[in-house]
């Protein structure tokens, strides 16, 4: 692995790193761009302003902003048409999508604005970089937050079930990157279809790996352990890490937290006394720990992610891998990918 294109695809931004082994990392091309869901939402809203129907086509992708834009478009009395693949963005059950008012079809109706869907804007990125005489690496490592395919079952519970399976399998950091999407993880599967041969991670996992590229955070992990809190635009995920093992995971929706509730729940997660029902009842995902997880840590939690201001005043230090906070996920993808390829980036305990 001599080069790698890493893209950390979130709900607000997509963060991009073009890594080449022969190039000083500080000179690598780095981009922070609007997330694909934000781009698709902007195109739908433009059509709303023009009183035009829209036709969504392409791939299943992250919802969030595009879901809200579709709701607004329908509320304005305009039509939304979508292919079955694109419609799966909004719900696993096609009947639920139809109940929203979306018409599922294969061909675009006359006069409707075609809006491409998908988490990977590779063609646009290729053209943008070509303007600066930069070619894209052929190997890709991509991260998204996937809730999975779970018709008739809470997608919050289903997503957290995947964390539980990971912990029960041992919680090794190296298992957080893979070249085949796990069964039922449809968003990751869509990426694998768009970019055959790519490596895949969850965005929270990429952030945790990225935080561990900060030497001070790695040192804490190699001692009694560290709690890494990724404050993403959509999800807040905390990992208890000791050595190369994840010992506990907590996940909530960032919009459902304020500074006081964040502090309370993370501290109780570290102490091992946070109730899972409390998290789920507050519209979060859950909390799970291995029996050997510590009940308390000597140091404060370490934060990363674009919503770090939520922890302002708590005294929690920020992980700064390679001097760049916003690229934590990309650095995590790079480190995990090179570890996966058994190259020069060891697991933090090595």
Tens of pLDDT, residue by residue over 172-223, are 999 999 999 988 999 999 999 999 999 999 999 999 999 999 999 999 999 9
Predicted local confidence at residue 144, as pLDDT: 97
* Tens digits of residue pLDDT in 260-311: 999 999 999 999 999 999 999 999 999 999 999 999 999 999 999 999 999 9
By DSSP bridging, strand 13-20 and strand 29-34 are: antiparallel
Sheet holding 13-20, edge to edge: 29-34, 13-20, 3-9, 140-144, 199-202
Predicted local confidence at residue 183, as pLDDT: 86
Predicted local confidence at residue 200, as pLDDT: 98
Predicted local confidence at residue 35, as pLDDT: 96
Predicted local confidence at residue 343, as pLDDT: 65
Predicted local confidence at residue 115, as pLDDT: 97
Check if the beta carbon of residue 90 is closer than 8 Å to that of residue 83: no
Per-residue pLDDT band at 342 (split at 50, 70, 90): confident
What CATH number was assigned to the domain covering residues 36-117? 3.40.50
Rounded to the nearest integer, the mean pLDDT of the chain is 95
pLDDT of 349 above 60: no
pLDDT of 116 above 90: yes
pLDDT mean over 39-62 = 97
> If we measure between CA atoms, which residue out of 36, 37, 66 comes closest to residue 54?
66
Distance of CA 308 to the CA centre of its chain: 16
- Give strand pairing partners of 116: 57
Q: Is 182 buried (19+), middle (13-18) or exposed (0-12) by CB count in 10 A?
A: middle
pLDDT of 19 above 80: yes
Predicted local confidence at residue 268, as pLDDT: 98
Phi/psi of residue 49, each to 5°? -65, -25
Predicted local confidence at residue 350, as pLDDT: 37
CATH 3.40.50 in the chain: give the residue spans: 36-117
pLDDT of 58 above 90: yes
Predicted local confidence at residue 143, as pLDDT: 98
Per-residue pLDDT band at 134 (split at 50, 70, 90): very high
Q: How many CA atoms lie within 13 A of 349 on its CB side?
A: 13
CA distances from 106 to 52, 102, 302, 324 (A): 19, 13, 47, 44
Check if the beta carbon of residue 136 is closer than 8 Å to that of residue 18: yes
| Full-model pTM | 0.94
pLDDT of 345 above 70: no
pLDDT of 228 above 90: yes
pLDDT of 51 above 60: yes
């Amino acid at each position: 692995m001599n080069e790698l294109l890493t893209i950390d695809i979130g709900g607000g931004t997509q963060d991009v790193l073009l890594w080449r082994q022969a190039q000083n990392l500080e000179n690598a091309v780095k981009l922070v761009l609007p997330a694909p869901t934000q781009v698709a939402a902007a195109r739908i809203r433009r059509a709303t302003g023009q009183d035009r129907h829209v036709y969504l086509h392409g791939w299943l992708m992250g919802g969030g902003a595009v879901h809200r834009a579709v709701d607004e478009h329908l509320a304005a009395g305009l039509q939304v048409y979508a292919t079955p693949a694109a419609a799966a963005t909004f719900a696993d059950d096609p009947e639920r999508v139809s109940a929203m008012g979306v018409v599922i079809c294969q061909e675009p109706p006359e006069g409707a604005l075609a809006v491409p869907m998908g988490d990977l804007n590779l063609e646009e990125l290729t053209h943008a970089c070509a303007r600066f005489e930069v070619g894209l690496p052929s190997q890709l490592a991509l991260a998204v937050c996937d809730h999975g395919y779970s018709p008739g079952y809470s997608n919050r519970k289903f997503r957290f079930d995947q964390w539980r399976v990971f912990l029960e399998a041992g919680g090794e950091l190296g298992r957080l990157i893979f070249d085949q999407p796990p069964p039922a993880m449809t968003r990751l599967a869509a990426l694998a279809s768009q970019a055959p041969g790519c490596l895949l991670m969850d965005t929270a996992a990429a952030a945790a790996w990225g935080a561990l590229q900060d030497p001070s955070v790695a040192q804490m992990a190699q001692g009694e352990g560290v709690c890494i809190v990724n404050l993403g635009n959509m999800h807040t995920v905390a990992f208890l890490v000791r050595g190369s093992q994840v010992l506990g995971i907590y996940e909530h929706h960032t919009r459902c937290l304020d500074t006081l509730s964040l502090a309370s729940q993370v501290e109780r997660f570290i102490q091992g006394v946070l109730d899972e029902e409390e998290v789920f009842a507050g519209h979060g995902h859950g909390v799970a720990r291995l029996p050997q997880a510590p009940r308390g840590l000597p140091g404060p939690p370490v934060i990363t992610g674009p919503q770090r201001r939520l922890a302002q005043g708590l005294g929690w230090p920020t992980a700064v891998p390679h001097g760049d906070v916003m690229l934590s996920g990309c650095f995590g993808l790079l480190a995990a990918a090179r570890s996966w390829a058994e190259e020069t980036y060891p697991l933090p305990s090595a």
